[in-house]
Amino acid sequence: MQTDALADAGGFIASLSKDEREALGARLRPIRFVDGEPIVTAGEPGADLYLILEGRAEVGLVSVQGREVTYRDVGPGDMIGEIAAIDRSPRSASVTARGPVLAGVLTRADFEALIADSPGFALALMRHLTGQIRSITERVFELSTMLVRDRLVRELLRRGRASAGGADRAELSPPPTHHDLASRIGANREAVSREMSRLSGEGLLTRAGRHLVIPSLAALGEELDDPP
Amino acid sequence: MQTDALADAGGFIASLSKDEREALGARLRPIRFVDGEPIVTAGEPGADLYLILEGRAEVGLVSVQGREVTYRDVGPGDMIGEIAAIDRSPRSASVTARGPVLAGVLTRADFEALIADSPGFALALMRHLTGQIRSITERVFELSTMLVRDRLVRELLRRGRASAGGADRAELSPPPTHHDLASRIGANREAVSREMSRLSGEGLLTRAGRHLVIPSLAALGEELDDPP
DNA sequence: CCCGCGCTGTGCGTTTGCGCACAATCGGCT
DNA sequence: AGCCGATTGTGCGCAAACGCACAGCGCGGG
């Protein structure tokens, strides 16, 4: 399918060589999801993988008390479902489409063929996995040692840095909802709301229409007790 | 070196075939650490891997405020340092010997040779990585949604199940210190102490000399609001 | 253009759990 | 046997943050 669409995406696909990308693209079967639709569901069997081609989705779980936990969110070029495909166990988390999503399905058989045929693919996959370990590990550290205030600041710094590419000023658009941030940092909506107000009051955050602006990532970073 | 010592260990090594285990063993250089000695240190460069042959060690970090966070603990057959070896970034966590440790060093060059030469080794490695992702992910969920009480119960259940192999009654020896448990579940020592007392009071935990006894894992599991 | 739904801000009472202090106890080790 | 460091039990006050309630506000669709 559309290997050209894969070319300029980010995420996992970006770490592949042109040949590997084409070998992957040739095995994808397109599939669409509507807003809110589950792409994979935690606890269920299933070993196919998905590559996000267009749109965004959230990887996470909901507790029985209704509290949402988001592990990561994914966009064009990102891979989903690799855990279950590799270890043949039930899905470890659910993935939900946020808006319309176009994905490419890769069967486990094709996935295993790619690994066997292309050493570069296997290496890229391993680096993808270690990247996930690093980021989840960091989150455990934050949850174990920091207050909501610092966890929020660090989450904003991460998002700001990702969208600002080197600059000190960052714009987040669309701005994340407080509920969204809360589910990322293990806090409730109101706590995030209060901290956001405080940061705005101190001039560390500004609103410009539909954008949430971080005038200075460096200044925001000063807020931390704990050096990042 | 001593491939026979590797044969009946658990952890990563146990997931290798006899041939793979021997290929690995042939490339290990033995090294010893004393109690409390750092095996690898977070933030530093270094891409060698270690296989624990004898003794135990803890993988974790300490916050600037002095709070300790333990990610996992490792024993004979477990692998350390694989993250940095795969992605060539600084060490993501520190590993500290708990008691005397005998380990085998594997250089990155040898590690990459093993991956290239043996498809089974690469697969086992990937499954090892996804296993870590599953367990850290579970910890994020617990930290985000559960109180100290439930986090502790679940940690005790994990340890109990690991040492009881199917039985409903479990013995932990040596018993974990409260400080130890606290650093695993993101709580402080006193909170753990109080919850342990409560569980003892309810008969869900007992002491038999140097053993901490869980008379019934099932009964302990009932304690959870949230089904595991 | 206006309505409605989703998001935001904030007040308030309650629970949780942290952190300090100190006493009691345990367990090795010589 | 006896000492000493590590571990445990517990009281207490306080800070954090949860959860509920409800009032604006804002944007997008009809």
pLDDT of residue A209: 81
**Per residue in A7-34, pLDDT tens?**
667 789 999 999 999 999 999 999 999 9
pLDDT of residue B100: 94
CA quadruple A102, A81, B142, B89: dihedral positive or negative? negative
Give the mean pLDDT of chain A.
94
pLDDT surpassing 60 at residue B3: no
How far does the CA of A147 sit from the C1' of D6, in Å? Answer: 30
**Per residue in B102-142, pLDDT tens?**
999 999 999 999 999 988 999 999 999 999 999 999 999 99
B199 sits within 7 Å of strand C by its CB: no
Pick from A49, A118, A123, A137 the residue to mutate for testing the B interface (most B CBs within 10 Å): A137
Give the mean pLDDT of chain B.
94
Distance from CA of B184 to the nearest CA of A (A): 9
**DSSP characters over A187-216:** --HHHHHHHHHHHHHTTS-EEETTEEEES-
Helix (H, G, I), strand (E, B), or coil: what is residue B82? helix
A126 and chain B in contact, CB less than 8 A = yes
pLDDT surpassing 80 at residue B5: no
Which nucleotide lies at the shortest CA–C1' distance from A145? C18
pLDDT of residue B182: 98
Overall average pLDDT of the A140-148 stretch: 98
A134 and chain B in contact, CB less than 8 A = yes
Share of chain B above pLDDT 90, in %: 88
pLDDT surpassing 90 at residue B210: no
**Per residue in A165-193, pLDDT tens?**
889 999 998 999 999 999 999 999 999 99
Take residue B224 and report the two structure tokens written for it. Answer: 């959870």
pLDDT surpassing 70 at residue A64: yes
More confident residue, A164 or A69: A69
How far does the CA of A173 sit from the C1' of D30, in Å? Answer: 26
A185 sits within 7 Å of strand D by its CB: no
Overall average pLDDT of the A140-150 stretch: 98
Query: Which chain B residues contact residue A188 at CB under 8 A?
Result: none
Take residue A28 and report the two structure tokens written for it. Answer: 């994808």
pLDDT surpassing 70 at residue B4: no
Range A114-137 burial, b when 16+ CB lie within 10 A, else e: bbeebeebbbbbbbbbbbbbbebb
Overall average pLDDT of the B29-35 stretch: 96
pLDDT surpassing 90 at residue B11: no
